Copies of this chain bind each other. A is one copy, B any other.
Amino acid sequence: MIRRFGVSLETELLDDFDALVESRGYGNRSEAIRDLIRAALVERDWESGTVEAAGAVVLVYDHRRRDLQARLTELQHSSHEHILATMHAHLDHDNCIEVVLLRGAAAEIKAIGERLIATRGVKHGRVVSTTLGDRLA
């Protein structure tokens, strides 16, 4: 069910907001406000650490590093109950980018991500927090 309510904004702030709505490609103000609200809620959930969430770990590494893929795969299997899927793409002759999608408590996702990133030979990594979506209409 959709509910509608009124928001009061200073004209100047509203004009500035409309420019942001336009430049980011939102269809209308409600859509942009919904996104700001959802982002604040997801951030709050991740801070709690215990909320069941989804996340992604993005890794960049040199696939020629001895045993690196084997070690990454082994680490992933040891957390298989949290891993949804993995995707791999080639950046150049040596470098690959890999994304691991996870679900679990925010703190667990983070710990798995940190361990993958810490693996010798991984050049850069990031853990990204998002949501299972079920609590966000």
Chain A positions within 8 Å of B, measured between CB atoms, are: 1-14, 16-17, 20, 24-27, 29-42, 44, 54, 56, 58, 60-62, 84-85, 87, 89-92, 94-97, 99, 101, 103, 114-115, 117-120, 122-126, 128-137
Contact A13 B136, beta carbon cutoff 8 Å: yes
Question: If A33-B33, A137-B12 touch, does A124 touch B39 (CB 8 Å cutoff)?
Answer: yes
Contact A14 B25, beta carbon cutoff 8 Å: no
Contact A130 B58, beta carbon cutoff 8 Å: yes
- Where chain A touches its partner, the secondary structure class is mixed
Partner of A91, one of B16, B61, B123, B133: B133
Specify which chain B residues have a CB less than 8 angstroms from the CB of A16 in the assembled complex. 41, 135-136
Stoichiometry, copies per complex:
4
Contact B11 A2, beta carbon cutoff 8 Å: yes
Q: How far is the CA of A40 from the CA of B95 in the complex (A)?
A: 19
Q: How far is the CA of A79 from the CA of B62 in the complex (A)?
A: 26
19 contacts between A and B (CB under 8 A): A2-B8, A2-B11, A3-B8, A3-B11, A5-B29, A7-B7, A7-B33, A13-B37, A17-B41, A24-B118, A36-B36, A54-B60, A56-B58, A56-B97, A60-B132, A61-B133, A95-B132, A97-B101, A124-B131
